[in-house]
A and B are shown apart, each in its own frame.
Chain A
Amino acid sequence: MQFLLESIWEAILLIVRFDQDLQDALFTTLRTSLTSTAIAALIALPLGFLIARHAFPGRKGVLMLLRTALALPTVVVGLLVYAFIARNAPLGGMRLLFTQTAIIIGQVILIAPLMTALVHSAMQAMVREVYEEAILLGASPLRASWKTVTEARLAVVTALMTGFGRVVSEVGVALMLGGNIRGATRTITTAITLETGQGNFSAAFALGIVLLTLVLLINLAVQMAGGKRAIA
């Protein structure tokens, strides 16, 4: 109990002090997580919709691969990308290793399958109903597709938030590809790893509370922005 209370107090002090290290970790976390979520969404939304909308040879195989990718360990993704961007690797010349860009690449690979699978699930239930209805009322295929996405927006937002939640809390990719460099690639989760490794459990726990508070605030913001307004 003492540990818990100390950690909460330390979290409050951390936030109040808002020192440079916390600022850097927070902004690095936000920058990489939001960017990777946005890029993954650009892949997942159309792909999930297309898989839901069209029957094609090998569709079941694609869905099976997507579901398998849900269980991808973060460190395996990190290793995979590392193999391409390390100094002597095929893309080594691009000097991506230990940069935020590398973290983003790894996180996109991590969550794109997850978000695609979730978007597909969200769309599958209504793609025929909504798409057909819109087409029958005179919409073009593009307008009908957009209508399907907006009608499924609650489920789509859930898919996006799930992807965001996965990357904001992952360690493997950020550590392996970012290197946990102070002021550059240190995220909140890699900072937690560092503090834990040094035996500073209260500090690690406090950072965890900060991370959870961040995710809660983002969730609230998304919910308030969504509201009940219909999109034509």
Chain B
Amino acid sequence: MHGSLHTVMIYDVKDLLFTRSERFTLSIDGFTLATGERVAIVGPNGSGKTTFLRLLAFLETATHCAHFRFRGEEIGARRQGTDRRRGLGFLKQQPHLFMGSVRQNLAYPLTLRRCPAAELRQRVDAMLELVDLAGHAETSVRRLSGGEQKRLALGRVLIGAPDVLLLDEPAAHLDLRSQRVIERVLLGSSASLVLASHDLRLAHRVAGRVLHLQAGRLAAGLPENILEGRRQGREMVTAGGLAIHLPAEAENGGADRGDGRAMVMIDPRNLVVSPEPLISSMRNHYRGRVCALHVQGDDVWVEIDCGERLTAIITRESYESLGLNLNRDVVVSFKSHAVEVL
């Protein structure tokens, strides 16, 4: 969670505490965002992602904070005036679109800045193209679909050219076209970015660093078995020589990043560990050696070196019945459907 000595930190937060009620507390030991960096915060509903973003957007006041620096200046996590938010864009999970047309909504931030008419028109037209709403300029916002409304809301945030973007579930519950437009727009943006999402796929595609928020605390996340490799038909071959059989739908798009390479994630709970290969419908089987064991409550994390490091989560009962120990030879198996293409 730290950048180079000469990197300007957009956010530098330490020991932040936010309490709303007895039932909810957000406690962040430390958080930084360097210029140009993209960070994703993932976690289940109710974990505090939205609250954290609201604190970063100065819409909430922290109960306590050791220090809260924004653009190098100590300001504390207090509500701030308009000037402090200059250059900061926040896309809320449920943004409010103003009454009127698509064009009027996009123009609003520019009218606040007294943008000349010709420039305003040009920037609005450009943004309409970017968020794929060119044919809807004069459409009333009430007539837009959910995906179109979210694209409009994103466009309205981006049109002010913010250099810091906070996004709360930007692609949640959207149609595939809207998800792709939003992802394309975010990947093309040069802004420093904090993305809150429960969508691991979006998080890993857009962000360079993924943090996990669990019950109000940044936690060590689940090992997600993130692997990269070269596409070969229905398989992806990693640098470690693992040929991973991909799900059928991966052929239809999203699997190839455009350079013949792909990135996948395998939920550790979907990995099956056995002493011998199993005869089953699972297409992926790899021999390996147990190189680490870690007990976490009722779960046991088993790290297996099979050319790539894969982590499986099994129950204590299974761990004892299999008699697993370090350096034990095992087979790790999983279905192709367990492979999530990022």
Which residues of A come within 8 Å of B, CB atoms?
Answer: 126, 129-130, 132-133, 135-141, 143, 147, 150-151, 228, 230, 232
Contacts and interface: CB of A to CB of B under 8 A. Distances in A.
B85 interface: yes
B98 A138 contact: no
A140 B80 CA distance: 11
22 contacts: A129-B96, A130-B96, A132-B92, A133-B92, A133-B96, A135-B85, A136-B57, A136-B59, A136-B88, A136-B89, A136-B90, A136-B157, A137-B108, A137-B112, A137-B156, A138-B85, A138-B160, A141-B82, A143-B112, A147-B98, A151-B98, A232-B108
A232 B104 CA distance: 8
Given A151-B98, A230-B100, A230-B101, A139 B112 contact: yes
B99 interface: yes
Given A133-B92, A230-B99, A232-B104, 16 more contacts: A126-B96, A132-B59, A133-B95, A133-B96, A135-B82, A136-B88, A136-B90, A136-B92, A137-B160, A138-B86, A138-B109, A138-B113, A139-B82, A151-B98, A228-B140, A230-B100
A228 B139 CA distance: 12
B100 A138 contact: no
B98 A230 contact: yes
Nearest to B112: A138
Nearest to A129: B96
A16 B108 CA distance: 50
Interface of B: 57, 59, 82, 85-86, 88-90, 92, 95-96, 98-101, 104, 107-109, 111-113, 140, 156-157, 160
B133 to A, nearest CB: 17
A140 B114 CA distance: 13
B245 to A, nearest CB: 46
Contacts of B92: 132-133, 136
B51 to A, nearest CB: 14
B127 to A, nearest CB: 13
A125 to B, nearest CB: 11
B263 to A, nearest CB: 33
Top-3 shortest CB links A-B: A230-B100, A129-B96, A137-B109
Contacts of A150: 99
Contacts of B111: 232
Nearest to B82: A140
B104 A230 contact: yes
A159 B107 CA distance: 30
A184 B100 CA distance: 45
A160 to B, nearest CB: 18
Contacts of A129: 96
A143 B108 CA distance: 11
Interface centre among B82, B86, B140 (most CB of A within 10 A): B82
Contact of B85 (A136, A230, A232): A136
A137 B108 CA distance: 8
A96 B84 CA distance: 52
Contacts of B101: 230
A143 B114 CA distance: 13
Contacts of B88: 136
A147 B111 CA distance: 13
A228 B96 CA distance: 18
Interface centre among A130, A132, A137, A141 (most CB of B within 10 A): A137
A179 B88 CA distance: 62
Contacts of A147: 98
Contacts of B95: 133
Nearest to B105: A230
